[in-house]
Structure 1
């Protein structure tokens, strides 16, 4: 697979980036050995960047994939911490559990914060300090806000931006897909690396996956797209799509026939409400003492599952 420069970072990455969220406990709950085999399969076929996060709880899967691997693989993680002490702990845990001496990118994971450059200033500062310590190569910003992406363009501290974008604009908190696309072009023009998230809106757009992925990949300023994959068949199909190779229509029709949804085991819901503020897209509420999901808003990220103390929410 061809490689592209990720902005001014000097990183030459595959435009298809392995999005590791779906294989962890928030969604498919694959065992680390099984998840590791799939990631290793992708690495050996040319994908050379993995996107993960503290919240995903899947560092063991990635460590399994990297064991004995001699190729270059870039690792990007995220911290959702609101204070510097916790952010440092998140990074140090990632280094320890991944068994690496540094991370290539660590994002300030601030999906629902309109101005993370102000509200997460102390977190950015500690990540910059860890960059000086050699534990982080680049500081990034992960956001669902157009205004946050635009502000990152002017920040000397942010080297990589991980914005939410899909052709329907699902999950964007302050505007349209067209407005986010314009912000992405602006931030890339400023020299930032850009790799997109939620091109399939967390699975809501699986039925039109080829068109949806091609739309995001073709946007000005997008260097790569993180795509969640759970099978070798998905890896092969996406590599073909991102490489401009001839596609197998039958294979894609099968893949696009899949559907995912957020499942709340209502019978066991105690109505504690912990899932509601965890939702990055305001898709959850309590109705008659039970958690309810607005499927029009839900982008199937699974963060609510991590917040549920009863473990009764799952993306399936």
Structure 2
């Protein structure tokens, strides 16, 4: 299996990182089985967050007996020192550990630095001095904040969206991380669920020896795919290159990644589902998306009054009201037996 060095942390990690956001949707028994199967097949890096409901608890229950053999990264969305310490203590309790290898600021609207008035970076340093964290990281969906973090020299890892759908701007971040010896954790490695070709995704990531993809794992079958590539890695051949080119043409640049940072909506619209429904229908079997539950969600989306609060919060500055309109129309066309025209 391929191992990489995670920047100046010096951790040697399996090229398959385990993203533990999706397991919050599974029951505890199933989650433990999936996580322990990952461990038993050589996966040693696990990424979670305080924001991911019971994800930390499930990791703690799964890995407590092999704690010294794994690397755990978690995150805090705290914007002040008091909440930082509350989050850290809760995370350590949930994870059944005295420390975490990497503690990350989670998609904050600014890049924490010493003497910025928030007290956050000072709290990170104190937690590091106390041995509760080993390395300091940051996650973001915004290029400007990621760039600030790298320029500051304060961070040992950067977690940022990266997949074969990304452009030169993201590639520049990867190159800069390599130059600065900052570990690069690739979130949204499957395009927020819109990439369905795991072979293409894996073979693309193999070209970057300083990038650790964080695959969001919810089902055992998904895990099995990535485990199989450890011994038989797919090669980025002409067939896979053609598949990547097709995906990039179909999705374009203004698609919703499903990150959910636009939420909550004042009109109770599930934006991260409704704003990309037509992409789901194009790329996956339509029947699950036509259930009564999804129809109800799309009906609710009609209540968008274009308050634009979602646009302010969207890391990609998408025109979400317009995306909702387009997706509602596509969805109704499907329900009425019409074909979506690209």
Name the TM-score, length of structure 1 as normaliser: 0.73
Helix, strand or coil for the counterpart of 2:9? coil
> How far off is 1:117 after superposition?
4.4
Moved runs in structure 1, 4+ residues, more than 4 A? 114-121, 256-264, 266-275, 277-287, 291-295
Separation in 1, partners of 2:128, 2:83: 16
How big is each residue's C-alpha offset from its partner over 1:102-147, in whole Å with a ceiling of 9 and x where there is no partner? Answer: 0111111126x36454879632221121111110101101012223
Q: In 1, are the aligned partners of 2:6 and 2:183 still within 8 Å (CA)? A: yes
| Aligned positions, number | 272
Q: 1:151 to 1:274 in 2, by over 3 A?
A: closer
Mapped pair 1:68 → 2:65: yes
1:143-182 pair list within 5 angstroms: 143-169=140-166, 177-182=167-172
Matches within 5 A, 1:6-45: 6-24=6-24, 29-45=25-41
The question of 1:233 aligning with 2:214 is answered no
Question: For 1:118-133, what aligned pairs fall within 5 Å after superposition?
Answer: 122-133=119-130
Corresponding residue of 2:97: 100
Aligned-partner Cα distance in 2 for 1:127–1:9: 16
Structure 1 or 2: more helix by fraction: 2
Identify the residue that residue 186 of structure 1 maps to in structure 2: 176
**Unpaired runs of at least 5, structure 2:** 236-282, 328-342
Secondary structure (helix, strand or coil) at the match of 1:265 reads helix
**Pairing 1:265–2:297 present:** yes
Preserved CA contact (<8 Å) 2:80 2:118: no
Q: Secondary structure at the match of 1:166?
A: coil
Mapped to 1, the partners of 2:47 and 2:41 lie a distance apart of: 17
CA contact (8 A) 1:283 1:294 kept: no
Asked if residue 210 in structure 1 is aligned to residue 199 in structure 2, the reply is yes
Give yes or no for contact 1:79–1:87 (8 Å, CA) kept in 2.
yes
State the distance in 1 between where 2:285 and 2:215 align: 15
1:195 aligns with 2:192: no
Residue equivalent to 1:219: 208
Instruction: Return the alpha-carbon distance in structure 2 between the equivalents of residues 214 and 241 of structure 1.
Output: 9
Task: Between 236-245 and 86-95, report the one with greater CA deviation.
Answer: 236-245
234 and 71 in structure 1: CA distance in 2 versus 1, 3 angstrom threshold: farther
Distance in 1 between residues matched to 2:80 and 2:219, nearest whole Å: 37
Unaligned runs of 5+ in 1: 170-176, 248-255, 296-316
Q: Calculate the aligned-residue CA RMSD, in Å.
A: 3.5
TM-score under structure 2 normalisation? 0.68
Would you say the 8 A contact 2:203–2:233 is kept in 1? no
For 2:300 and 2:169, the matched residues in 1 are separated by 41
TM-superposed deviation, 1:257:
5.5
Alpha-carbon distance between aligned partners in 1 of 2:216 and 2:117, rounded to the nearest angstrom: 27
| Aligned-residue offset at 1:196 | 0.7
